[in-house]
């Protein structure tokens, strides 16, 4: 039985904490390998959600009654937990959003709108998710700024040499992911950030695929913005954070207007609240934010490094099993990767593989994974993507490989 | 030509043999797709793509001696199998028979359970497109008759 290396914790013990894993799908035990889309939630997260609604539900911050106090305290505790989780200097640098997509849109619509001018440039990479492309396209169009794209190499890495040549005095913003959702490539973000700073550009990191797998220290990285989605790190859907350097957040105009983000309102003029509330208009996603704290505890108790080491073992095993199948081609073979393996099969559409695997109770993702430009780069329509979390096993990867082989044999 | 409902009932009994086994069902549908006559490459144009399908589905139709004949292809095997079921039901039928057809075989074989909501919507789009062709042929016939 597999264990989490140094901790000695058995994977079965971890699996026992995830109720959703223990079910039959199409008459077969569920094998959940779609973790890069969203991973499953441990019982403690689910219980925290239920507990909040059963015991503490109240609107936060302005109430003076006991429940409001409890809810506010729990909500703000998560902010401190997230500050620690990414090593932010100040707690007010943690803004709760709906997730990475909203975080990026917020920065594009506020920082972008205020500081981008006609002729300025925003640099992205060819590895980006649509949510780290479209908000920049929208603001660039509005301001007459231009998008520049760092090309991707054959193994699926950012071409750093090309990046250096793209950087110029016109560069205002660089936005790249920490790890690629389609290929799993871990990007050298420290180097990317340092190079951008030499040109006085600010850097936003899309951390959607990194938060559950990679150490994040925003001060050491010196990144200007870092975005996280809760649901990709064992937490509830519909919440996440935007980290921003305090001095930048203070200069940015508010994103949405409404309750909570104001200091004083008259019909003549409104003054805005302080950080982080300036960016948290309206009643936030209180329950999910509170439960996110439990997801962080889950990760920290197992140890992110231990989790990553085990997932890497799964990744290597999957790459080895899949590449041994005749007709299978791995897409994304960078040496530094999180536990995501994309592949295609000669002559068989990814949808058909996905459908066949689903019939065997195996959940994978098929298609372009919201990275159409990246698929175009490789001249493919899409891939089959298997992505692994700490509760997956080598036996599940064996089932995946068998399912793929069986489909190929049938279709030939 | 067999009436629409007779063909539907045949399909229902064929699927009943699979006894709800998902893997066998998917294999069976793909197999049906493999048997679909090959569509001419020149017909695989953007104009012939059925809108509303997740996969690419090309569909053409022609009227011969008062009956409608469809040809189709798809970039995915499963979708090709699904469209082949419709072709089996609708080919050789009159435009009127196609327009009046009440398709119930999908519910009986539990199609939504194995193709999911998105594909079910795509399947509905295929049926709609086939009925639109039938309507066009019927209208054309009526105009020519006047």
Using one digit for the tens of pLDDT, what is the confidence trace for A300-314? Answer: 999 999 999 999 999
**Structure confidence at residue B108 (pLDDT):** 92
Stated length of chain B: 146
Q: Could you give the CA distance from residue A28 to residue A358 in angstroms, rounded to a whole number?
A: 10
Segment B136-146 mean pLDDT:
86
Q: For B78, which residue in chain A has the nearest alpha carbon?
A: A352
Quote the pLDDT of residue B144: 84
Domain range A3-32+303-411, its CATH number among 3.40.50.1820, 3.20.20.70, 3.40.50.2300, 3.90.1150.10 = 3.90.1150.10
DSSP, residue by residue, B57-111: EEEEEEEETTEEEEEEEESSHHHHHHHHHHHHHHTTB-HHHHHH----HHHHTTH
pLDDT digits (tens, 9 = 90+) for A8-23: 889 999 999 999 999 9
CB count, 10 Å around CB of B10? 14
Catalytic residue among B4, B53, B57, B127: B53
Smallest CA–CA distance, residue A50 to chain B, in Å, is: 29
User: What is the interface pTM, i.e. ipTM, of the complex?
Assistant: 0.88
Q: Which residues contact A294 (CB under 8 A, 6 or more apart)?
A: A42, A44, A45, A47, A48, A235
Asked if the domains A3-32+303-411 and A47-300 are classified in one and the same CATH topology, the answer is no
CATH topology of domain A47-300: 3.40.640
Contacts of B114 in chain A (CB under 8 A): 359
Query: Is the model's pLDDT at B74 over the cut of 60?
Result: yes
**How, if at all, do strands A146-150 and A121-125 pair?**
parallel
Look at strands A28-29 and A24-25 and give their pairing.
antiparallel
Interface contacts (A, B; CB < 8 Å): 37
Tell me the average pLDDT across B14-43.
Answer: 92
Nearest CA in chain B to A409: B27
- Whether chain B has a CB inside 8 Å of the CB on A381: the answer is yes
Indicate the pLDDT class of residue A412, thresholds 50, 70 and 90. confident
Domain range list for chain A: 3-32+303-411, 47-300
Q: Do B27 and A410 touch (CB under 8 A)?
A: yes
What phi-psi label fits residue A59: left (phi over 0), alpha (psi between -120 and 50 degrees) or beta?
A: beta
Which pLDDT does position B37 carry in this prediction? Answer: 92
Domains of chain B: 4-141 (3.90.1010.10)
How far apart (Å, rounded) are the C-alpha atoms in residues B108 and B10?
12
Consecutive H or E run containing B29: helix B22-34
Q: Which of A131, A125, A240 is nearest to A191 (CA)?
A: A125
Residue A395 has pLDDT above 60, yes or no: yes
**Chain B contact for A27, CB < 8 A?**
yes
Average confidence score pLDDT of chain A: 96
**Angstrom distance (rounded) from CA A365 to CA A170:** 38
In this predicted structure, what is the pLDDT of residue A1? 59
C-alpha–C-alpha distance, residues A188 and A179, integer Å: 9
State pLDDT tens for residues A23-82.
999 999 999 999 999 999 999 999 999 999 999 999 998 888 999 999 999 999 999 999
Peptide bond into A276 cis (omega under 30): yes
Pairing of strands A362-363, A365-367: unpaired
Q: Is residue B142 packed enough to be buried (19+ CB in 10 Å), middle (13-18) or exposed (0-12)?
A: exposed
């Amino acid at each position: 039985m597999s264990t989490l290396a140094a901790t000695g914790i058995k994977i079965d013990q971890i699996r026992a904490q995830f109720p959703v894993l223990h079910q039959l799908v199409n008459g077969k035990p569920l094998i959940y390998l779609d973790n890069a889309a969203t991973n499953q939630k441990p019982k403690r997260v689910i219980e925290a959600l239920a507990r909040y609604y059963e015991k503490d539900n109240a609107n936060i911050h302005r109430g003076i009654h006991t429940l409001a106090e409890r809810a506010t305290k729990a909500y703000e505790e998560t902010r401190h937990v997230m500050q620690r989780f990414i090593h932010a200097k100040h707690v007010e640098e943690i803004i709760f959003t709906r997730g990475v997509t909203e975080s990026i849109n917020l920065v594009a619509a506020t920082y972008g709108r205020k500081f981008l001018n006609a002729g300025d440039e925003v640099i992205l990479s060819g590895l980006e998710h649509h949510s780290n492309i479209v908000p920049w396209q929208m603001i660039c169009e509005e301001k007459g700024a231009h998008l520049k794209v760092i090309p991707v190499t054959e193994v699926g890495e950012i071409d750093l040499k090309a990046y250096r040549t793209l950087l110029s005095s016109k560069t205002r913003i660089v936005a790249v992911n920490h790890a690629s959702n389609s290929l799993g490539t871990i990007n050298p973000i420290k180097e990317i950030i340092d190079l951008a700073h030499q040109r006085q550009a600010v850097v936003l990191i899309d951390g959607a695929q990194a938060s559950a797998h990679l150490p994040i220290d925003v001060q050491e990285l010196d990144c200007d913005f870092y975005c996280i989605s809760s649901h990709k790190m064992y937490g509830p859907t519909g919440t996440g954070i935007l980290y921003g350097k305090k001095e930048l957040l203070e200069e940015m105009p508010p994103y949405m207007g409404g309750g909570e983000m104001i200091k004083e309102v008259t019909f003549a003029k409104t003054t805005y609240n302080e950080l982080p509330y300036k960016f948290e208009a309206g009643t936030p996603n209180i329950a999910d934010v509170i439960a996110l704290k439990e997801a962080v505890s889950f990760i920290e108790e197992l140890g992110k490094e231990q989790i990553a080491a085990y997932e890497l073992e799964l990744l290597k095993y999957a790459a080895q099993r899949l590449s041994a199948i005749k007709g299978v081609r791995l897409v994304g073979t960078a040496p530094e990767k999180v536990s995501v393996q994309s592949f295609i099969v000669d002559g068989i559409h990814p949808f058909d593989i996905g459908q066949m695997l689903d019939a065997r109770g195996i959940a994978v993702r098929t298609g372009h994974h919201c990275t159409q430009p990246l698929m175009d780069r490789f001249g493919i329509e899409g891939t089959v993507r298997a992505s692994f979390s700490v509760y997956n096993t080598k036996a599940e990867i064996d089932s995946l490989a068998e399912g793929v082989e069986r489909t190929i044999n049938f279709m030939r | 030509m067999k009436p629409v409902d007779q063909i539907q009932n045949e399909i229902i009994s064929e699927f009943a043999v699979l006894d709800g086994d998902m893997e066998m069902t998917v294999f069976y549908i793909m197999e049906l797709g493999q048997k679909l006559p090959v569509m001419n490459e020149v017909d695989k144009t953007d104009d012939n793509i059925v809108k509303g399908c997740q996969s690419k589905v090309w569909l053409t139709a022609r009227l011969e001696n008062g009956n409608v004949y469809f040809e189709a292809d798809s970039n995915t095997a499963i979708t090709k199998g699904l469209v082949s079921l419709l072709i089996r039901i609708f080919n050789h039928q009159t435009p009127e028979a196609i327009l009046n057809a009440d398709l119930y075989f999908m519910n009986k074989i539990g199609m939504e359970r194995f193709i999911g909501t998105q594909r079910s919507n795509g399947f509905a789009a295929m049926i709609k497109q086939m009925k639109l062709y039938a309507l066009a042929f019927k209208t054309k016939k009526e105009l020519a008759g006047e």
